[in-house]
């Protein structure tokens, strides 16, 4: 695996999904600071504004998805009272005054207790039968669920983006897997056109570790640890944050399997693996 592939991989490890999800900058979790309410037993009121530009079969599927999601991840008025959902097809000009296009979560009337949930579906997604026209619903719903559980953390602009976006992307992926038998994330990774050509000449553009500590990050994690010792080494040179080398299950099972066959001494290899990771991150032993 060459360095560019490794950098691509590490981008996914460290800043998971920020490239692939929400379509509006600075959109998802809101950043106003209203006093918290706390009523963890009353369901959040959901007002739906589904535009006639959307095909009937999308609206049917939207209703099915929302029924599943509300049942699976119920929303209570712990931190906000209501959500106004606006959805339309981007072939029409933004039809709701004051509601910008995109796919994002925001606040209504500058009131943090009223959330805005906007889905402007790209018309091409209907023409190409793209799963994103449905998975975006699960993705954005997961954000309002996150906010219903942890308003303060998610309102903090300095929170790690990978935590909010990564969680939503993984949930979206699980939903698409379970209900449509598709692997959107795996397919996205295969679509090299999604990667900017600039990154091939300047991979550092996609390396997020330099800004990570400004987004509330207090540790850098590299995985699989042993395969990326060179990345650990480079991070150590450029960052003072603690570095964790994550020895993934595949690495672990390789060692286990080889030890079972008597090819290696398990204890020696485990200690050697540990030592290598430590040595490359320059932690004094
Ligand atoms: Zn998102």
pLDDT at position 211: 58
pLDDT at position 24: 43
Tell how far the Cα of 30 is from the centroid of ligand 1, in angstroms: 12
pLDDT at position 264: 93
Tell how far the Cα of 280 is from the centroid of ligand 1, in angstroms: 34
Helices 56-72 and 132-149: angle between axes, nearest 10 degrees = 30
Closest of 149, 145, 90, 159 to residue 117, by C-alpha: 145
Tell how far the Cα of 206 is from the centroid of ligand 1, in angstroms: 18
pLDDT at position 228: 83
Tell how far the Cα of 236 is from the centroid of ligand 1, in angstroms: 30
Tell how far the Cα of 168 is from the centroid of ligand 1, in angstroms: 6
Tell how far the Cα of 259 is from the centroid of ligand 1, in angstroms: 43
Angstrom distance (rounded) from CA 285 to CA 278: 8
| Count of all residues that appear for the chain in the document | 285
Tell how far the Cα of 3 is from the centroid of ligand 1, in angstroms: 28
pLDDT at position 160: 64
pLDDT at position 185: 77
pLDDT at position 17: 31
Tell how far the Cα of 20 is from the centroid of ligand 1, in angstroms: 8
- Tens-binned pLDDT, residue by residue, of the chain (285 aa): 444 444 344 433 333 333 333 544 334 444 444 546 788 899 999 999 999 999 999 999 999 999 999 999 999 999 999 999 999 999 999 999 999 999 999 999 889 899 999 999 999 999 999 999 999 999 999 999 999 988 755 555 556 666 788 889 999 999 999 999 998 777 777 777 766 676 667 766 656 666 555 555 677 888 887 788 888 888 888 877 888 888 888 888 889 999 999 999 999 988 888 887 777 665 543
pLDDT at position 191: 72
* Phi and psi at residue 231, to the nearest 5°: -70, -40
pLDDT at position 252: 84
Tell how far the Cα of 86 is from the centroid of ligand 1, in angstroms: 16
Domain boundaries, the chain: 3-188, 209-281
Tell how far the Cα of 28 is from the centroid of ligand 1, in angstroms: 6
Tell how far the Cα of 42 is from the centroid of ligand 1, in angstroms: 25
pLDDT at position 187: 72
pLDDT at position 13: 37
Q: Are 148 and 69 in contact (CB under 8 A)?
A: no
Sheet hosting strand 103-108, strand order edge to edge: 45-50, 82-89, 111-121, 103-108
CA dihedral 202, 157, 221, 280 (to 10 degrees): 60
pLDDT at position 262: 94
Tell how far the Cα of 6 is from the centroid of ligand 1, in angstroms: 24
Angstrom distance (rounded) from CA 255 to CA 242: 26
pLDDT at position 210: 63
């Amino acid at each position: 695996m060459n360095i560019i592939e490794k950098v691509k991989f590490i981008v996914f490890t460290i800043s998971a999904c920020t490239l692939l999800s929400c379509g509006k900058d600075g959109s998802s979790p809101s950043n106003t600071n209203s006093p918290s309410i706390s009523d963890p037993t009353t369901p959040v009121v959901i007002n739906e504004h589904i535009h006639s530009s959307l095909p009937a079969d999308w609206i049917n599927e939207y209703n099915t998805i929302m029924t599943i999601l509300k049942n699976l991840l119920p929303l209570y008025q712990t931190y906000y009272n209501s959500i106004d959902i606006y959805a339309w097809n981007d072939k029409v000009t933004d039809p709701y005054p004051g509601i910008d296009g995109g796919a994002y979560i925001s606040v209504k009337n500058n009131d943090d207790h009223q959330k805005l949930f906007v889905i402007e579906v790209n018309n091409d997604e209907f023409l190409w039968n793209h799963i994103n026209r449905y998975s975006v619903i699960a993705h954005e719903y997961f954000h309002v669920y996150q906010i219903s559980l942890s308003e303060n953390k998610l309102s903090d602009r300095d929170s790690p983006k990978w935590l909010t976006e990564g969680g939503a992307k993984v949930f979206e992926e699980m939903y698409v897997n379970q209900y449509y038998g598709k692997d959107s994330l795996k397919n996205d990774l295969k679509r090299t056109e999604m990667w900017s050509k600039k990154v091939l000449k300047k991979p550092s553009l996609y390396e997020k570790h330099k800004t990570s500590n400004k987004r509330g990050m207090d540790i850098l994690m590299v995985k699989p640890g042993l395969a990326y010792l060179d990345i650990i080494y480079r991070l150590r040179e450029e960052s003072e944050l603690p570095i964790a080398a994550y020895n993934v299950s595949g690495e672990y099972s390789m060692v286990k399997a080889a030890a079972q066959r008597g090819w290696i001494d398990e204890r020696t290899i485990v200690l050697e693996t540990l030592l290598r990771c430590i040595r490359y991150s320059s932690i004094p032993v």
